[in-house]
Structure 1
Amino acid sequence: MPYWRISGFYFFYFASLGALVPYWGLYLQDLEFSPAEIGELIASLQATKIVAPNLWGWIGDRTGKRMRIVRLAGLISPLAFVGVFFGSGYWWMMMVMIAFSFFWNASLPQFEATTLNHLGRDTHRYSQVRVWGSIGFVLVVAALGPLLDRFGTVLVPPVVLGLFAGIWLMSLTVPEKGHPHSHLASGSIMAIIKKPEVIAFLVVCFLMQAGHAPYYAFFSIYLEAHDYSRTAIGVLWALGVGAEVLLFVFMHRILQRVNVRRVLIISLALASVRWLLVAKFVDTAWVMVFAQLLHAATFGSFHAAAIHLVHTYFVGQHQGRGQAFYSSISFGLGGMLGSLYSGYLWSGLGSSFTYGLAAALALVATLIAMRWIRG
């Protein structure tokens, strides 16, 4: 198990998210895009998650060479991202964001499958590797906030580009690892997807990410509008992912003792609480701190439980496409539609209504999980 090499990839991948997720919306706002346009542009990042992971997942499952895909995607995504330095119009930015994200989004599901194959029977220890991604996110988001207060969002693109380069370099160090029992899954992947429990699981993941979309797209803009400095914004983001880091450290023990279904349901219920707090108490700093601490559940424990279930549902040669399908339905379709409704509702019905809707989506997902997902 090449622990540090795999951990290094996660570190750089999620460090790039630490620059993009909290600060890309602010960067687009400084380019004078409207909330609707920001929602559409961020939706384009999520839209490529619908197609790219499934295309590359099919190739990875057919060839068994998942790390080749990760390395190719890791090389092309920074080359495509360079386009942001050569224009700032709406359609140019849309084209560049679609181009780099098509490859950037392709790599993670294939790397997740490779990681789980390296772990073998110790899949409950996934969180001990994945925690380094969260550490990368925390370090970048905390360091970048004060720098943006001083120098502005013009720093965001070069930082992202450097982190993309780090992803590619780390991908070169991780060896290939196929699944030792790929013959166990010779049937159609559609037979798995059509199972009622799997359908319910995918719907739950879709709703959870659609509910998170206003957070990823507009939380920094929301805080800045309520007089939080960019340093404070960075601290709040870092606090949320810091809580996620602590949870990941102990997650393997939790999953050994607590039913994965229960972990999933608790995470969903806490997401509904979190978005209600964000909707109603943005001007109360300690409530925002508490809401950010809930990120440990709404992303950390939920994602760990979801990855565990995907690995259980999609075995053998279907692992790559299973991870890709999970990514495309939740982060792709859910994130895309969530970013779109966020952008359109933000200007029309307001930020509080938008986060209230996010809370409702999480509540519906909780009820579906309680009814249809088994332990």
Structure 2
Amino acid sequence: MTPILFWQLARFYFVYYFFVGLFTPYWGLYLQSLQFDALQIGILLSLFQFSRIFAPNFWGWLADHTEERAKWIRFTAFVGVIGFCGIFWANTFASMLLIMMAMSIFTSSTLPLAESLTLGHLASHKGDSSYSRIRLWGSIGFICAAFFLGFIIDQLSINSVVWALLITQAAIFISSTSIPEKKIKPEDTIRRPIISVIKNPQVMFLLVGCALMVSSHGLLYNFYSIFLKSNNYSNFMIGSLWSIGVICEIFIFLLMPKILKAINVRQVILISLAFAVIRFYLIGAYVDHLIILIFAQILHAATFGSFHVASIHIVEHFFNKDHHARGQSLYNSITYGVGGAIGGLGGGYMIESFGAEMTFSLSALLPLLGFLIIFFGLKDFPKNI
């Protein structure tokens, strides 16, 4: 991979995850400032997960059939900017619901298309292990955003998040215009229907196990900041705790090429799930102990970082060149769509009924179940893919 291509892709990941670093820690706090309750916030934030169930599959199908991934990345990014502008007129739950629904259909599709395009570029350079190094720039973007906006909100107001998100949405589109297209020719084999891949028991166990992992994170993404705020943590400290997790994520991205040479991707996912059980129990049980919360955030290196890289590689292995974009989109839909929506929406209901401490502690059962499914279901798997 040439240095120019590397930085074109790295810049996109940086800006995209800068947006995520603004949205994930602070959008729930903004919605809370509009007097929405936990269930309403859960519904609104889960729209992004629900849209991931359907929207990425459509755009993935379109990208595979037109062989123009970069074109659709730009299109979804541009419409995402337009959709976000409606936020300025959303002052009721119904209007916010409609605006966020429209926006999420496009915004949720940009990343899986970019993942597919990035892996397509890497596939043309055999032995190129640049994915982790490219993706870590997304983590750097998240950290910069979380620190930056936490400080700004403490100095100004929570309304700052709206303008910061709009500017970053525009930057995502601008960055996408420099990403070159990568035409992927179908393999010289009989084209398999994608349903034949999905019916593979290995794929089914993988998707269900990963969805359970992401379900616990759906609760985290929607309510972690609100949970911390209710326990008297400042906006800057909230941003700092988010950033600690992502800083550790950067180190794991740098180490992943060596880790994947030492152990296979199945083992990486199992270790990540085991750490997730510990992490989510600690968050719920020890929210008033800062040192334990910091330790729980350090575990983000495994529960997201190593888990994400390993699962992306497995999906790329199972879905051949005919289905690259749809394979990543399907993974995104089942795990971050269905799994994230269950965690986010169910978490809102659970918090209203049982409280945040109990809800976060019980969420540790989700990765535990995912561990058992992957352990017993994903048996025979090649190493070093």
TM range (shorter): over 0.9
Contact 1:124 1:308 in 2 (8 A): no
Aligned counterparts of 1:365 and 1:262: Cα–Cα separation in 2: 13
Match of 2:200 in 1: 195
Within-5 A mapping of 1:25-40: 25-40=28-43
Match of 2:317 in 1: 312
Contact 1:185 1:318 in 2 (8 A): no
Match of 2:56 in 1: 53
1:64 maps to a residue whose letter is: E
Residue aligned with 1:141, SS = helix
Within-5 A mapping of 1:19-168: 19-120=22-123, 121-122=126-127, 124-168=129-173
Equivalent pairs, count: 375
2:350 maps to a residue whose letter is: L
Residue aligned with 2:364, SS = helix
Match of 2:360 in 1: 355
Q: Deviations over 1:31-54 (max 9, x none)?
A: 000000000001111111111100
Contact 1:244 1:300 in 2 (8 A): yes
Greater helix percent: which structure?
1
Contact 1:183 1:316 in 2 (8 A): no
Contact 1:211 1:357 in 2 (8 A): no
Residue aligned with 2:179, SS = coil
* Length-normalised TM-score, structure 1: 0.98
Contact 1:185 1:317 in 2 (8 A): no
Match of 1:321 in 2: 326
| Counterpart among 210, 215, 239 of residue 210 in structure 1 | 215
Q: Deviations over 1:229-262 (max 9, x none)?
A: 1111111011110110111112122112221111
Match of 1:178 in 2: 183
Check 1:360–1:123 CA distance in 2 against 1; reply closer, same or farther (3 A cut). Answer: farther
Contact 2:50 2:337 in 1 (8 A): yes
Report the Cα offset of residue 288 of structure 1: 0.3
Report the Cα offset of residue 196 of structure 1: 0.6
Match of 1:290 in 2: 295
Contact 2:347 2:359 in 1 (8 A): yes
Residue aligned with 2:308, SS = helix
Report the Cα offset of residue 108 of structure 1: 1.1
1:94 maps to a residue whose letter is: L
Report the Cα offset of residue 181 of structure 1: 4.7
Report the Cα offset of residue 353 of structure 1: 1.9
* Length-normalised TM-score, structure 2: 0.95
Say which is worse superposed, 328-337 or 351-360, in terms of deviation.
Answer: 351-360
Check 1:276–1:123 CA distance in 2 against 1; reply closer, same or farther (3 A cut). Answer: farther
| Counterpart among 226, 230, 234 of residue 225 in structure 1 | 230
| Counterpart among 339, 342, 356 of residue 344 in structure 2 | 339
Report the Cα offset of residue 86 of structure 1: 1.4
Aligned counterparts of 1:149 and 1:304: Cα–Cα separation in 2: 34
Aligned counterparts of 1:229 and 1:313: Cα–Cα separation in 2: 44
Aligned counterparts of 2:157 and 2:147: Cα–Cα separation in 1: 15
Contact 2:282 2:361 in 1 (8 A): no
Aligned counterparts of 2:52 and 2:11: Cα–Cα separation in 1: 23
Say which is worse superposed, 297-306 or 84-93, in terms of deviation.
Answer: 84-93
Identity %: 40
Q: Deviations over 1:305-354 (max 9, x none)?
A: 00000000001110000000000001111111211111111011111221
Contact 1:9 1:167 in 2 (8 A): yes
Contact 2:90 2:99 in 1 (8 A): no
Q: Deviations over 1:180-224 (max 9, x none)?
A: 454446111000000111000000111011111111001011111
Report the Cα offset of residue 123 of structure 1: 5.7
Q: Deviations over 1:80-124 (max 9, x none)?
A: 100011122101111111111111111111111110111113364
Residue aligned with 1:187, SS = coil
Contact 1:214 1:342 in 2 (8 A): yes
Aligned counterparts of 1:59 and 1:245: Cα–Cα separation in 2: 32
> What 5-or-longer segments of structure 1 have no aligned partner?
none
Check 1:106–1:223 CA distance in 2 against 1; reply closer, same or farther (3 A cut). Answer: same
Aligned counterparts of 1:96 and 1:204: Cα–Cα separation in 2: 32
Check 1:36–1:282 CA distance in 2 against 1; reply closer, same or farther (3 A cut). Answer: same
1:144 maps to a residue whose letter is: L
